[in-house]
Structure 1
Amino acid sequence: MRTTAGARECEGSPQAPDWSPVMKKPLAIAVALALGTTACGSDDKGKAPEVVKDGTFTYAIPADPGVLEPATAVLGSTNTVLGFAYDTLVHSDATGKIIPGLAEKWDAGPEKVTFTLRKGVTCSDGSPVTARTVADSMNYLADPKNKASLLGVLIPAGMKATADDAAGTVGLATAAPNPFLLESMTAVYVVCGKGLADRSLLKDSTSGSGPYELTEKVAGDHYTFKVRKGYAWGPDGGGIVDGMPGTVTLKVVKDESTAANLVTSGGLSGGQFTGAERKRVEIIPGIHKGSAPDGIGELFFHQGDDRPGNALDVRKALIQSLDLADLRKITGQGNAAAPTHLTSLAPDPCRGDSVTGNLPATDTAAAGTALDAAGWKAGADGVRARDGRRLTLRIAYSTSAGPGVQAGMEYVATRFKAIGVETKLAGSADAKYAESLFSTGDWDLAWVPLGLSLPTQLTGYLSGPFPDAKGSNFAHLKNTEYVRLSGEAAKTVGAPGCPAWTTAEASLVRNLDVVPVSQPTQLVASKGATLDVIGGIVRPTSIRMLAE
C-alpha cells in the first residue's frame, strides 16, 4: 500500500485543503504517511529563512525497507526510500492536480494514455532515459510472470507499453477501459540503466533517474543518499536548488519515544508520530509541524458461506452494537475524523460522500432482537448459538497498527460480549496478518487500514475472485450491485465519472461489506528543515535545510 496527501499546518499561515491518502498493503499496499504542504518558513519580517547549502537531512522511518526492488515494494518505508532514487511519469500536487514528472505532457483516453517525455533525462548511472526505457520498465510490471505487487492495483492486467524514441512518446494501452490510468502513474516508479537490464541488482541498490542516489545501505539501521547535481526534471520541472540537502539519511527508528528524543536533541531532522509522543513533539522549540490522515481504518466481515458475517442481518446487528464514534476515538487516539469515502491517497480524484447516512445507528436492543430473529439464541452461559454452533468471531488486526487499534479491538470484544457474542482477538505481525487475510482465511472480522488513491483500486479487493482462486477479494464479497455500478462508472474517463463511483461505493457501505470507521492523522515534525510529503512519499525536491 503507498500512501497520503494532506496539508501542512504552518504556524501563522493559512492551512491548505487537506486532501490526504495512505496506502497500506497488508493486502498488498502498505500504509504510508503523505502530507501535502504549503510553503512554510517566513520570518516576522516576511523574509524567506536562510537556508543551508549541501546540508544533511536525517529522517526516521518506522521499519526496515527490506528488498528495494520497486516491482515488489509494498511497505510504506520501502516506498519512502525508493522515492528519493526514482521518478514517476507524473506527480500529484497537494490538491490532487496531476502535474508533470518525467512526462511533460500527456493525452489520456479511456483505453490509452500517451506521454511525451522530457528531453535530457538521465539515469543515476549516466545512461539516457528514453521512451524505450520507460516502456520496458512498464512492461516488466505488466508481465504476470514477474509477480509485481502493483499488477492489478496500479498496473491494469493486460496493459501494454509501446515506445517511439524519435517522438519521445510512450503509450500505455489497456485491454479494457481504465478511467484513472493517468492518475495511477503518480505512484509507479520508472527503473532505468543497469537495474533495468538486470533486476537482481535492485535487491540491495537503486537504479533510477531520481534526485538522489543510494550510496550506503545498512539493513535495519540506515539508508544514505547523495544528491545528483544535474537533476532538473522533478515535479513540475523542479530541480536541485539551494537549501536542498546534499546528503539524506533515512534512519530506521522503530520506537516513537526514541524518535522523539532524537528530534529533540537534533539527532534527527524529522519523523512522524501517531501515539503518545505526538503531544511531546509538538511543543519542541523550533519544531515545524504538519498533519495528515493515516489511511482509513475499516471493519470487514468474512462473508464466506459458512461464516456468521455472510448474513446481512447479522452484520447489521453486530455494527448496531458498536458506537462507531467511540471506536473512532479509541483507534485514532483522539486524532481521527469520520471518513466520507473509501479512498484517501493522492491524487484521490473522487471525494464524494459515500458514507454519511449509509451506516446503522447504535442500537444495542435492536441488535439483540435481530440476532434472536436470525436464530442466534443466548445459551445458559450467555453466549448465543444456532444449531449447536456458538456465535464466535475471530477478530484479526495487525499489531504494528499501534496501541489505539489494540484498545479498539478490545472495545469491540466488550460490546459484542454484551449482546452474547463470543470473540477471540487475533493480533499478529504484518506478515502473519496478511497471510490470514489472503491465504488461511482464519478470521471472521478484520480491522483493515486500507488506504488507496483511486476508486478503480477498490474493485480487486472488494469484488472478483476470492484468494483461493488467486484473487484479492479477501472478504469473499458478492455485491452484484457494486459490480454493476462500478462497471458503469469505469466507462467514463477521469473526474466526470466520480458521481457514479460514489454511488458504487455507497452500495458497499449500505451492505456493510466495508464499514469505514476512522481516518486518523499523523504528525510530521521537522527541526531545522521543512518538507512536503505527498501521496505517502517525502518529496525530495521540497526539502529545505534551514539556518536556525
Structure 2
Amino acid sequence: MKKTGPVAALATLSLLVAACGGTSDDPSGKPAEGGTFSFALSADPGALDPATAVLSITNTVLSLAYDPLVFTAPDGKIVPGLAEKWDVKPDAVTFTLRKDVTCSDGSRLTPADVAENVNHIADPETKSPVYGVLVPVGMKAEADDAAGTVTLSTPEPFSFILENAAQLFVVCGKGLKDRASIAHATSGSGPYTLTEAVPSDHYTFTVRKDYAWGPNGASVRNQGQPEKIVLRVVPNEQTAANMLISGDLNGAVVYGADRRRLEATPGVNKLVLAMGNGQFFYNQDDDRPAKDPAIRRALTQAINLPELAGIASSGTGRPVRGLVMDPKPCQGDGVTGHVPTFDPAAASAALDAAGWKAGADGVRVKDGKRLTIRLLYATTRGAGVLAANEYLAQSWKKAGVEVTLNGVIDTKLSESLNAAQDWDAVWLPIGVTLPTQLVGFLSGPSAPKGANFAHLSNERYEKLVAEAVTKPGEEGCKLWTESESALYDAADLVPVVENTVLVAQKGATFDFPAASFSPTTIRMTSAR
C-alpha cells in the first residue's frame, strides 16, 4: 500500500466536515422572517481556498459557501448532495451529478469542475495540505460531461471511498481558473456567498435564493432562513458568551467555564456535541528525547490521565474510545488496556534506566544534556485546555523534566508543527470522521515533506493499515481498531478525553455537525 502523502498537520481542531449528533434543549420559539444571523468565530479562518483548509475554523466558514458531492446524515448514512446517485466499487466510485446546480457566479457546475478539484489537490505541484486526507493518495478523477458523471478511482481498493467524498468541498466557476482569487473570497455552489471579508474582524455572507441542492435536496426557501450571515471573530470566550446573552450574537461554541453560565441562562438553546478528542503527541524526530520509546512510556506513566481528562474538558468530557468522531464507522474500543497507566515510581525507574539521572536542581541529565520538553498547545481551546497543559508541565517537572510551555494561536500551531518543528510534545485535538483520514498524520513522509508531523514510524500500525485499507467499510473495522491500539501500546500518542462542547444559540436554531454549519437548517426565531 502507498502511504498517505503530503498533508499539513491539522486534523487539529476538527479538520474534516461530517455530521454528528447532539442533544438539544430548544426554547427558541417559532421561525421568524429572515434577517441577519450572527455567529462567533474563536479565531480568524485564514486563507479560504478549500484545497488549503486544515483548520476547523476555516471549514466552519467554508461550509456556508461550498458543497460536497454527498452529505453524511446524523445517523451516518450517505445522502445526495451535488450528486444525485452513485455507483461504488472497491477502487472507484462514479457519481451522477444533479443537472440544476449552479455556482455563485451563475455558471453551471459540470463533472469536469468536480474532477478539476480532485486532480488539483492530487497534483504534486499544488502541495495541497489536504492531499492524503480529503483526497486519498493516488486518486484520480475522470469526468464525462455528456453522461453527467465523474469517477474517482484509486490504484488499489480503498476503504470508505464513498464516505470520503462527503468531506471534499467543491470549488466551481471563476475560482477554478484563479485559485488565488479565493484566498479571501468564495466561488462555490453553496447556499451563501461571501460578500465582505475583514480579516480578524468579520465575514459577511449573503443567501443565494435559488439554492435547492442541499442534503437530500434541501433548499433555502424556508421561513426563518437568514438573508445574511455575519461571522464575527471573537477570540475571548467570555466576551462571546456575554454577546450571546445580550443578543449581539445568535450562536457561539463554548468550551470552558462560561459553558455552565450559558446552560443556566433562560432563552438559550443548548446543543451539546462531541467535538474531537483531547490527546498529546510526542515528537520522535532523531534529535528529540521522545525518539526513545522508554522515554515516551515513562513520560506517559508520570501523568494521571483521568485527572488530566477532567481538567482538559472542565468536567464535561467522556471516556475516549478512539480517534474517530461520531458517528463512528467502526465501533470498537482501541484505547482501553493499551495506554500506560499512572505509575510515577515506574516512570522514575525507567528514566534512571535510560541514563537520565537527577541533577543538583532536580532536572535529569544525560551525557551533559538536560531532559527538556517544549510543550506546544493552542490558546483558543478554552480555560480547561490551558489548565491541562499546565498540569502536564507540572507532572513532568515532578519526574525531573525541564518543561517549557509554548501556547500559540491556531495558525501558529500549524506553522510550529510543520515548518519550525520547535516542539517535543503537543496537545492536539483531532476531529476526523474516517480512520483512513488519519493515515497521513500517523505514518509516511515526515513534516515538512508530509503530514507526519510527529515523525511516527510504527511498523505494526503500518502493517495493519495496509491490510485494513483494502477492506470495504465495516469489513476492515477490526483491523482499523487494532491499528490504533498499536500506536497507544508504543506511546506514540496518548488519548486523554473525548471532548464535548456547548453550541449556544439565541434567537436562532441551527445544526452544527463537527464544527461546520448545515446552512439549510439555520432558522431565525421569534424568541430573542
Q: TM-score range by the shorter chain?
A: over 0.9
CA contact (8 A) 1:318 1:367 kept: yes
CA contact (8 A) 2:81 2:217 kept: yes
2:268 alignment partner in structure 1: 287
2:10 alignment partner in structure 1: 28
User: Paired residue for 1:516, among 495, 499, 509?
Assistant: 495
Task: Please state how far the C-alpha of 1:415 moved relative to its aligned partner.
Answer: 1.7
Number of aligned residues: 518
Distance (whole Å) between structure 2 residues aligned to residue 449 and residue 133 of structure 1: 33
Structure 1 position 307 matched with structure 2 position 285: no
Output the amino acid matched with 1:533: F
Structure 1 position 530 matched with structure 2 position 512: no
Provide TM-score, normalisation by structure 2: 0.92
Alignment of 1:92-241 (within 5 A): 92-240=72-220, 241=222
Alignment of 1:128-527 (within 5 A): 128-240=108-220, 241-344=222-325, 348-467=328-447, 470-527=449-506
Extract unaligned runs of 5+ from structure 1.
1-24
Once the two structures are superposed, residues 293-329 of structure 1 have per-residue CA deviations (whole angstroms, 9 ceiling, x without a partner) of: 2321212122233432222222222211110011111
Distance 1:270 1:461, change over 3 A: same
Alignment of 1:3-22 (within 5 A): none
Percent identity reads 51
Task: Please state how far the C-alpha of 1:95 moved relative to its aligned partner.
Answer: 2.5
CA contact (8 A) 1:36 1:532 kept: no
Alignment of 1:38-77 (within 5 A): 49-77=29-57
SS of equivalent to 1:483? helix
Output the amino acid matched with 2:457: K
Output the amino acid matched with 2:137: A
Task: Please state how far the C-alpha of 1:62 moved relative to its aligned partner.
Answer: 1.5
Output the amino acid matched with 2:172: C
SS of equivalent to 2:352? helix
Once the two structures are superposed, residues 130-152 of structure 1 have per-residue CA deviations (whole angstroms, 9 ceiling, x without a partner) of: 22222222222222212222112
1:20 alignment partner in structure 2: none
CA contact (8 A) 1:347 1:535 kept: no
Output the amino acid matched with 1:312: P
1:7 alignment partner in structure 2: none
Task: Please state how far the C-alpha of 1:354 moved relative to its aligned partner.
Answer: 0.5
Output the amino acid matched with 1:276: A
Task: Please state how far the C-alpha of 1:101 moved relative to its aligned partner.
Answer: 0.7
Distance (whole Å) between structure 2 residues aligned to residue 454 and residue 401 of structure 1: 23
Distance (whole Å) between structure 1 residues aligned to residue 434 and residue 459 of structure 2: 20
Output the amino acid matched with 2:409: A
SS of equivalent to 1:521? strand
SS of equivalent to 1:300? strand
CA contact (8 A) 1:162 1:170 kept: yes
CA contact (8 A) 1:35 1:291 kept: no
Task: Please state how far the C-alpha of 1:369 moved relative to its aligned partner.
Answer: 1.9
CA contact (8 A) 1:302 1:444 kept: yes
Distance (whole Å) between structure 1 residues aligned to residue 261 and residue 24 of structure 2: 21
Structure 1 position 543 matched with structure 2 position 522: yes
Output the amino acid matched with 2:403: T
Once the two structures are superposed, residues 210-259 of structure 1 have per-residue CA deviations (whole angstroms, 9 ceiling, x without a partner) of: 11222222332222222222211100111122221122222222222221
Output the amino acid matched with 1:507: A
Output the amino acid matched with 1:483: E
Distance (whole Å) between structure 2 residues aligned to residue 355 and residue 387 of structure 1: 36
Once the two structures are superposed, residues 16-73 of structure 1 have per-residue CA deviations (whole angstroms, 9 ceiling, x without a partner) of: xxxxxxxxx9823341498745796888xxxx95311223211111222232222212
SS of equivalent to 1:295? strand
Distance (whole Å) between structure 1 residues aligned to residue 90 and residue 521 of structure 2: 33
CA contact (8 A) 1:486 1:501 kept: yes
Distance 1:137 1:370, change over 3 A: closer
CA contact (8 A) 1:489 1:500 kept: yes
Higher mean C-alpha displacement, 220-229 vs 164-173 = 220-229
Distance 1:297 1:122, change over 3 A: same
Extract unaligned runs of 5+ from structure 2.
1-6
Output the amino acid matched with 1:274: Y
SS of equivalent to 1:414? helix
Distance (whole Å) between structure 2 residues aligned to residue 219 and residue 432 of structure 1: 16
2:3 alignment partner in structure 1: none
Output the amino acid matched with 2:524: M
Output the amino acid matched with 1:375: G
CA RMSD, aligned part only? 2.2
CA contact (8 A) 1:88 1:188 kept: yes
SS of equivalent to 1:450? coil
Distance (whole Å) between structure 2 residues aligned to residue 279 and residue 200 of structure 1: 42
